């Protein structure tokens, strides 16, 4: 029987007479539906011819139409040239030799262009030096979306003709009124530009040309000029030196223009039982110090004394210097080694002090050093501190009528930028022009911004070294409405020639000596021993440096003797923490701060990207309470400190740097820029504000910890090798020369039937070997002795393989995409060898020798003075690859040419392969990095995408990627040979990294060609494979690092 229970929703319902219940029964909604609000306009409703039914029809139709339209495939248009340029064939790359000369980096390079777009910088084999990481990355600067696209006046765009008329008028007025016109430029070292400036001076009379290097080498220039009468820098060929002593000179970095690493690396490869010995005395842990056989941490003031002492030991003069005993002893040994080496020794110093530089020149002269070269001095630094200081003072005092700047950004790079800004605002300054690529700090403060072209769009010439000339030629039509400084000079001097013709005339007249200009343009470089050539450059430069030398205090630098200089060095003393300002391999002087490749490029030493920071020694950090800690998400956090030098204060994060000399701190230039930069690139703090008197050493610094923590983006948190000597094999020259290979580079053993068997023997192999003896079999050889960790290969790989930039946040989460990384390891004990020993002596879990505590200890690097080793790691292309066996969709497979292939379109993103890879070289696309505004670096705008290599796929979200051993390059080499019907010669096969390596550390080739370099390297005693005990049989070889610890 059905129940008659009554259910009620509200107590009100129990009241039978409730009116509310009755009302609600009739009404669906409690409150009135505001239909009037949207249907209230009755007249409009009635006027409309669309009924409800019609509306539904429209909706239905449009939905159907939209879905039908979506079924249609996209129509792809192809637009050929109307008139195809003869030299361009779509799909075939053209190479042009050109030269970068941005005032900081000078190098002759080859530019690879595709369909008229420059896409990659490569080394010019005919040039003596190779392109560093910044030069490799400079191609991206061409496609910078923040470039100035045309001339501007007071922030508004104008035309070049307006610019010309107005500036001509003003310059003429100034000439007539006799006011001074100042040209403030970078170092051009360009014969034609010097000539143009002379012409300009002639025409306008009262003209002052001030050359300004943001990172000054003025002291070295002054010292050289005083001694040798030429404003230049001594050239060093380290390949000719058997003993190298460096006092604070980061000559593998940017010391005196850089470019010394190729020569250095040559001497580092042990040949006939010999290699060079390198002793480094320095404060910051630099790239050079990391490569040294013996590194002596010393504060800048100790370095000065050490240099004086070295001088006294070598020349036999006595000097009373108070140095800590261990440094004194080391200096004594270094001196005796230098003396023993005699003409095979060389000494360099990075102390920015005329006396120090004079001493260095004197020592080298005294040694008769073969590596020391004054015949072909380096011309790429011309700046004068005094001239710049005078200019700033004059501007402030209103003595300057016009300033025209090119290639400089003084408002960012001057320590007294505010004085300069004041000078710019001075009413007596009638004209201010800045030739700039971007609206940087200076450009946005002047009247006229003259939009300058990128060097890949310009003509130019450079005298890199005396008698070594180099040409710049455009590799693309100017992308924007730009005009280079030299062209403007031509117009101002009323010359109708094109700059190209002007250069050609100058070269034909005084450089080529009858040689062909076209040949020189083709080669990019031209060398002559004819001494008269430098006269053009010399003439103008001398007049410039006259100003420099006669500075405001009126004293002219005359040559002082080494002894005097050494005594002067000793007398200087320092108090407090000593700050050494340095340039990073990635960022340099900060011109390319808007280059995401360089921002993401991890510093070779700290392995930190997207930042600059204060490097502090462990002892000082403990004293000051500075902490670095690893946090749960895998990133590193560091204390924020306030750095105060002479009342200039800045809050900056601190990194505890192993090997930093106690009592010294370091900070890198190039960061902290704000103008003309994307938001993501505005990283770090400006170090130029501490660059008082252009001295890279500032004493009396105080550091105090302030509240807060900074989040670093480090790509490597593990700092030591943990005694795993099979990752970086290392030995000393002595052992290398005297002991058997099995002692210092033994093959790991595994147990087979209780018999120790080498892991390379086929019996212990789980796999059937695939026959790779036919055709090509590629191997990449990496010599740990020749690798200085410069990182040119990292950027070359970036640009060749369209590797995306992921940004600081992602790098911090270890999601960096670099296919090629350069691992840096510190030793936990004094040397790596002692680490191994310690690990081998562990017994049991607990106790003094227990592994539990022992491993904990080994995790932290030796803080005082660890040994450092660099190891480039990319996909090892294992013949027995662990990644291949675990891929569920066979997206990664092996080719018979030795390459491990990765089919991106097949990958479903399980990431099993990355987990199974013992080398951790696989990179996963966590996001779509291209055409995605969340990653506002370069792949999200049309301009930036022009740098992409059309032969390599741009990977999408959710796929794994990794080094392909540049299969697109090897395949192209093979195809070219097939088409020509010839065999391939050794050296034709290259990868991006091996081609970029100017040090000869990376050699690529075919080991089936028994005569090839790489096949011979494979048979070398120093050869080993990374983690050989795993049995992966990689196709990348490493060569045991040998250190020359023999003290002479």
Partner 1 sequence: MEDNSTNNMQQVILRKLTSTVLRLGFIVLLTFSTSLKAQEGDPVKGKSLYNANCAACHKLDSKMTGPALRNVETRLQETEGLGREWLNSWIRNSAGMIKSGDAYANKIYKEYNGTAMTAFPTLSDQDISDILAYTAEEPAVAAAPPTDPSGQTQETGTPNKLILGALALLFGLLAMALILVRRTLNSFADAKGVDVAAREKSTPIWKAFVQNQFLVLVTVIILLLASAYFVFGYLSQIGIDQGYEPVQPIHYSHRIHAGDNGIDCKYCHSSARVSKHSGIPSLNICMNCHKSIAEVAPETLAEGQEFGVDYNAEIQKLYAAVGWNQADQSYTGESQPVKWIRIHNLPDFAYFNHSQHVMVGGIECQTCHGPVQEMEVMYQFSPLTMGWCINCHRETNVKVEDNAYYTKIHEQLSKKYGVDKLTVAQMGGLECGKCHY
SS3 144: coil
Own/partner contacts of 978-985, CB < 8 Å, gap of 24 or more, are: 984/776, 984/1009
Candidate list 16, 38, 981, 1010; residue touching partner 1; CB under 8 A: 981
Find the length of the chain.
Answer: 1048
Report the alpha-carbon distance of residue 986 to residue 977 in Å, rounded.
Answer: 12
Q: How many residues touch partner 1 (CB under 8 A)?
A: 49
With a CB cutoff of 8 Å and minimum separation 6, the contacts of 132 are 105, 107, 258, 259, 585, 790, 792
Report the alpha-carbon distance of residue 179 to residue 173 in Å, rounded.
Answer: 9
Candidate list 284, 288, 876, 897; residue touching partner 1; CB under 8 A: 897
Nearest to 826 by CA among 316, 295, 398, 432: 295
Q: Which is nearer to partner 1, 11 or 83 (CB)?
A: 83
Q: Which secondary structure element, helix H or strand E, spans residue 231, and what is its range?
A: none
Nearest to 823 by CA among 900, 745, 727: 727
Nearest to 599 by CA among 676, 679, 683, 716: 683
- Quick check: 67 binds partner 1 (CB under 8 A)? no
Q: Which is nearer to partner 1, 901 or 1018 (CB)?
A: 901
- Quick check: 184 binds partner 1 (CB under 8 A)? no
Q: Which is nearer to partner 1, 74 or 155 (CB)?
A: 74
- Given a contact cutoff of 8 angstroms between Cβ atoms, the answer to whether 491 and 169 are in contact is no
- Quick check: 906 binds partner 1 (CB under 8 A)? yes
- Quick check: 76 binds partner 1 (CB under 8 A)? yes
Report the alpha-carbon distance of residue 690 to residue 634 in Å, rounded.
Answer: 33
Candidate list 332, 940, 968, 1045; residue touching partner 1; CB under 8 A: 968
Candidate list 158, 559, 943, 977; residue touching partner 1; CB under 8 A: 977
- Quick check: 26 binds partner 1 (CB under 8 A)? no
Please report how close the Cβ of residue 776 comes to partner 1 at its closest, in angstroms. Answer: 9
Q: Which of residues 712-771 bind partner 1 (CB under 8 A)?
A: 771
Binding pattern for the stretch 352-381 against partner 1, x by CB under 8 A and - elsewhere: ------------------------------
Q: Which is nearer to partner 1, 862 or 902 (CB)?
A: 902
Nearest to 219 by CA among 363, 361, 356: 356
Please report how close the Cβ of residue 940 comes to partner 1 at its closest, in angstroms. Answer: 18
Report the alpha-carbon distance of residue 451 to residue 261 in Å, rounded.
Answer: 35
> In the beta sheet, which residues pair with residue 100?
107
- Quick check: 796 binds partner 1 (CB under 8 A)? no
Candidate list 749, 952, 1027, 1030; residue touching partner 1; CB under 8 A: 952
SS3 120: strand
Q: Which is nearer to partner 1, 92 or 852 (CB)?
A: 92
For residue 540, give both structure tokens. 């103008």
- Given a contact cutoff of 8 angstroms between Cβ atoms, the answer to whether 319 and 185 are in contact is no
- Quick check: 964 binds partner 1 (CB under 8 A)? yes
Please report how close the Cβ of residue 954 comes to partner 1 at its closest, in angstroms. Answer: 7
- Quick check: 774 binds partner 1 (CB under 8 A)? yes
SS3 265: helix
Nearest to 673 by CA among 605, 740, 603, 591: 591
Q: Which is nearer to partner 1, 73 or 178 (CB)?
A: 73
Q: Which of residues 79-138 bind partner 1 (CB under 8 A)?
A: 79-84, 89-92
Nearest to 1025 by CA among 1010, 1040, 1041, 1006: 1040
Please state whether beta strands 923-924 and 960-961 pair in parallel, antiparallel, or not at all (unpaired).
Answer: antiparallel
Candidate list 75, 325, 632, 766; residue touching partner 1; CB under 8 A: 75
Q: Which is nearer to partner 1, 901 or 1016 (CB)?
A: 901
Nearest to 110 by CA among 452, 473, 379: 473
Per CB under 8 A, the segment of 373-381, 594-602, 962-970, 991-999 that binds partner 1 is 962-970
Please report how close the Cβ of residue 71 comes to partner 1 at its closest, in angstroms. Answer: 9
Report the alpha-carbon distance of residue 1028 to residue 995 in Å, rounded.
Answer: 26
- Quick check: 902 binds partner 1 (CB under 8 A)? yes
For residue 112, give both structure tokens. 């690879």
Please report how close the Cβ of residue 894 comes to partner 1 at its closest, in angstroms. Answer: 8
Phi, psi of 395 (to 5 degrees): -65, -40
With a CB cutoff of 8 Å and minimum separation 6, the contacts of 546 are none
For residue 537, give both structure tokens. 């450059």
Per CB under 8 A, the segment of 378-386, 646-654, 805-813, 903-911 that binds partner 1 is 903-911
With a CB cutoff of 8 Å and minimum separation 6, the contacts of 808 are 609, 610, 611, 680, 683, 713
Report the alpha-carbon distance of residue 183 to residue 197 in Å, rounded.
Answer: 9
Q: Which residue has the tokens 């030429």?
A: 230
Candidate list 701, 875, 984, 996; residue touching partner 1; CB under 8 A: 984
- Quick check: 846 binds partner 1 (CB under 8 A)? no
- Quick check: 910 binds partner 1 (CB under 8 A)? no
Per CB under 8 A, the segment of 140-148, 382-390, 837-845, 897-905 that binds partner 1 is 897-905
Per CB under 8 A, the segment of 71-79, 521-529, 622-630, 658-666 that binds partner 1 is 71-79
Please report how close the Cβ of residue 902 comes to partner 1 at its closest, in angstroms. Answer: 7
> In the beta sheet, which residues pair with residue 111?
96, 121
- Given a contact cutoff of 8 angstroms between Cβ atoms, the answer to whether 178 and 399 are in contact is no
- Given a contact cutoff of 8 angstroms between Cβ atoms, the answer to whether 683 and 808 are in contact is yes
Report the alpha-carbon distance of residue 509 to residue 513 in Å, rounded.
Answer: 7
Please report how close the Cβ of residue 647 comes to partner 1 at its closest, in angstroms. Answer: 57
Angle of helix 499-506 relative to helix 485-492, nearest 10 degrees, comes to 90
Please report how close the Cβ of residue 112 comes to partner 1 at its closest, in angstroms. Answer: 15
- Quick check: 893 binds partner 1 (CB under 8 A)? yes
Candidate list 172, 530, 885, 971; residue touching partner 1; CB under 8 A: 971
Candidate list 24, 126, 366, 903; residue touching partner 1; CB under 8 A: 903
- Going by the DSSP 8-state scheme, the letter that residue 248 receives in this structure is S
- Quick check: 895 binds partner 1 (CB under 8 A)? yes
- Given a contact cutoff of 8 angstroms between Cβ atoms, the answer to whether 265 and 1001 are in contact is yes
Q: What is the DSSP string of 493-507?
A: TT--S-HHHHHHHHI
Binding pattern for the stretch 853-892 against partner 1, x by CB under 8 A and - elsewhere: --------------------------------------x-
Q: Which is nearer to partner 1, 83 or 766 (CB)?
A: 83
- Quick check: 393 binds partner 1 (CB under 8 A)? no
- Quick check: 983 binds partner 1 (CB under 8 A)? yes
Q: Which is nearer to partner 1, 619 or 903 (CB)?
A: 903
Report the alpha-carbon distance of residue 769 to residue 771 in Å, rounded.
Answer: 6
- Quick check: 851 binds partner 1 (CB under 8 A)? no
- Quick check: 421 binds partner 1 (CB under 8 A)? no
Please report how close the Cβ of residue 898 comes to partner 1 at its closest, in angstroms. Answer: 11
Please report how close the Cβ of residue 970 comes to partner 1 at its closest, in angstroms. Answer: 10
- Quick check: 901 binds partner 1 (CB under 8 A)? yes
- Quick check: 775 binds partner 1 (CB under 8 A)? yes
Q: Which residue has the tokens 């020509």?
A: 980
- Quick check: 51 binds partner 1 (CB under 8 A)? no
Q: Which is nearer to partner 1, 650 or 952 (CB)?
A: 952
- Given a contact cutoff of 8 angstroms between Cβ atoms, the answer to whether 470 and 188 are in contact is no
- Quick check: 68 binds partner 1 (CB under 8 A)? no
Please report how close the Cβ of residue 597 comes to partner 1 at its closest, in angstroms. Answer: 21
| Contacts to partner 1 by CB under 8 A | 73, 75-84, 89-92, 771, 773-775, 891, 893, 895-897, 899, 901-906, 951-954, 964, 967-968, 971, 974-975, 977-984
């Amino acid at each position: 029987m059905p129940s008659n229970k009554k259910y009620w929703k509200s107590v009100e319902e129990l009241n039978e007479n409730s009116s509310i219940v009755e009302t609600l029964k009739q009404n669906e909604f409690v409150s009135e539906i505001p239909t009037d609000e949207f249907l209230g306009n009755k007249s409009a409703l009635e006027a409309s011819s669309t009924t409800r039914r019609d509306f539904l029809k429209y909706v239905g139709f449009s939905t159907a139409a939209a879905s039908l339209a979506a079924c249609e495939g996209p129509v792809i248009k192809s637009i050929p040239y109307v008139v195809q340029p003869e030299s361009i064939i779509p799909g075939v790359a053209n190479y042009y030799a050109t030269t970068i000369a941005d005032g900081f980096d000078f190098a002759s390079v080859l530019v690879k262009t595709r369909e008229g777009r420059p896409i990659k910088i490569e080394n010019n084999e005919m040039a003596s030096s190779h392109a560093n990481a910044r030069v490799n990355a400079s191609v991206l600067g061409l496609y910078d979306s923040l470039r100035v696209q045309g001339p501007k006046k007071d922030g508004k765009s104008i035309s070049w003709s307006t610019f010309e008329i107005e500036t001509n008028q003003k310059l003429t007025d100034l000439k007539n009124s006799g006011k001074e016109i100042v040209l403030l430029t970078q170092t051009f070292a360009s014969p034609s530009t010097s000539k143009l400036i002379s012409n300009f001076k002639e025409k306008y009379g009262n003209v002052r040309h001030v050359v300004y290097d943001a990172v000054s080498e003025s002291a070295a220039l002054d010292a050289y000029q005083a001694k040798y009468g030429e404003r230049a820098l001594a050239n060093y060929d380290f390949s000719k030196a058997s003993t190298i002593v460096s006092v604070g000179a980061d000559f593998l970095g940017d010391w005196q223009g850089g470019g010394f690493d190729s020569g250095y690396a040559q001497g580092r490869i042990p040949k006939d039982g010999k290699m060079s010995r390198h002793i480094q005395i320095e404060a910051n842990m630099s790239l050079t110090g990391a490569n040294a056989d013996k590194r002596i941490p010393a504060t800048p003031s100790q370095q000065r004394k050490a240099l004086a002492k070295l001088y006294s030991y070598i020349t036999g003069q006595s000097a009373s210097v108070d140095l800590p005993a261990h440094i004194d002893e080391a200096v004594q040994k270094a001196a005796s080694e230098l003396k023993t080496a005699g003409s095979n020794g060389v000494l360099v110093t990075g102390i920015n002090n005329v006396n120090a530089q004079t001493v260095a020149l004197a020592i080298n002269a005294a040694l008769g050093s073969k590596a020391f070269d004054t015949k072909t001095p380096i011309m790429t630094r011309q700046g004068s501190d005094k001239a710049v200081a005078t200019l700033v003072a004059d501007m402030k005092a209103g003595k300057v009528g016009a300033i025209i700047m090119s290639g400089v950004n003084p408002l960012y790079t001057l320590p007294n930028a505010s004085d300069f800004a004041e000078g710019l605002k001075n009413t007596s300054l009638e004209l201010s022009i800045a030739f700039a690529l971007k609206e940087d700090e200076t450009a946005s403060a002047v009247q006229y911004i003259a939009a300058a072209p990128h060097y890949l769009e310009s003509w130019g010439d450079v005298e890199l070294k005396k008698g070594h000339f180099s040409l710049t030629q455009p590799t693309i039509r100017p992308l924007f409405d730009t005009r280079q400084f030299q062209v403007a000079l031509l117009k101002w001097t009323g010359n109708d020639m094109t700059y190209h013709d002007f250069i050609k005339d100058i070269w034909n007249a005084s450089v080529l000596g009858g040689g062909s200009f076209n040949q020189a343009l083709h080669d990019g470089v031209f060398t002559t021993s004819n001494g008269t050539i430098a006269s053009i450059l010399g003439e103008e430069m001398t007049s410039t440096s006259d100003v420099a030398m006669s500075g405001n205090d009126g004293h002219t630098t005359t040559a002082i003797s080494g002894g005097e200089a050494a005594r002067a060095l000793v007398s200087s003393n320092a108090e407090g923490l000593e700050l050494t300002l340095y340039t990073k391999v990635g960022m340099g002087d900060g011109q390319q701060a808007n280059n995401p490749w360089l921002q993401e490029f991890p510093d070779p030493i700290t392995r930190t990207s997207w930042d600059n920071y204060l490097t502090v020694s462990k002892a000082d950090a403990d004293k000051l309470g500075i902490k670095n800690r690893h946090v749960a998400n895998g990133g590193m956090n560091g204390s924020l400190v306030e750095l105060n030098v002479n009342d200039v204060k800045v809050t900056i994060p601190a990194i505890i740097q192993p090997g930093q000399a106690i009592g010294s701190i370091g900070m890198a230039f190039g960061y902290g820029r704000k103008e003309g930069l994307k938001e993501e690139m505005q990283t770090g703090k400006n170090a130029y504000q501490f660059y008082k008197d252009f001295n890279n050493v500032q004493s009396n610094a105080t550091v105090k910890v302030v509240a807060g923590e900074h989040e670093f983006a480090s790509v490597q948190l593990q700092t030591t090798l943990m005694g795993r000597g099979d990752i970086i094999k290392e030995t000393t020259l002595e052992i290398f020369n005297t002991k058997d290979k099995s002692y210092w580079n033994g093959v790991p053993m595994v147990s087979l039937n209780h018999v120790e068997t080498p892991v390379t023997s086929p019996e212990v192999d789980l796999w059937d070997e695939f026959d790779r003896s036919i055709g090509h079999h590629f191997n990449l050889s990496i010599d740990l002795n020749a690798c200085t960790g410069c990182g040119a290969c990292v950027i070359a790989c970036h640009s060749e393989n369209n590797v995306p930039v992921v940004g600081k946040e992602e790098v911090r989460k270890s999601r960096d995409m670099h296919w090629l990384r350069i691992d840096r390891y510190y030793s936990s004990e004094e040397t790596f060898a002692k680490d191994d020993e310690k690990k081998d002596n562990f017994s049991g879990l607990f106790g003094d020798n227990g592994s539990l505590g022992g491993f904990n200890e080994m995790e932290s690097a030796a803080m005082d003075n660890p040994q450092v080793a660099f190891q480039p790691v990319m996909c090892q292309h294992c013949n027995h690859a662990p990644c291949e066996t675990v891929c569920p969709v066979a997206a990664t497979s092996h080719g018979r040419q030795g390459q491990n292939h990765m089919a991106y379109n097949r990958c479903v993103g399980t990431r099993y392969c990355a987990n199974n890879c013992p080398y951790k070289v696989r990179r996963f696309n966590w996001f779509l990095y291209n055409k995605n505004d969340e990653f506002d670096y370069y792949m999200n705008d049309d301009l930036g995408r022009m740098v992409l290599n059309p032969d390599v796929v741009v990977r999408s979200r959710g796929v794994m990627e990794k080094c392909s051993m540049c299969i697109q390059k090897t395949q192209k080499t093979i195809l070219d040979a097939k088409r020509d019907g010839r065999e391939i010669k050794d050296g034709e096969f290259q990868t991006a990294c091996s081609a970029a390596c100017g040090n000869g550390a990376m050699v690529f080739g075919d080991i089936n060609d028994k005569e090839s370099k790489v096949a011979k390297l494979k048979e070398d005693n120093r050869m080993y494979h990374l983690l050989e005990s795993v049995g992966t049989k990689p196709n990348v070889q490493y060569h045991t690092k040998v250190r020359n610890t023999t003290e002479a």
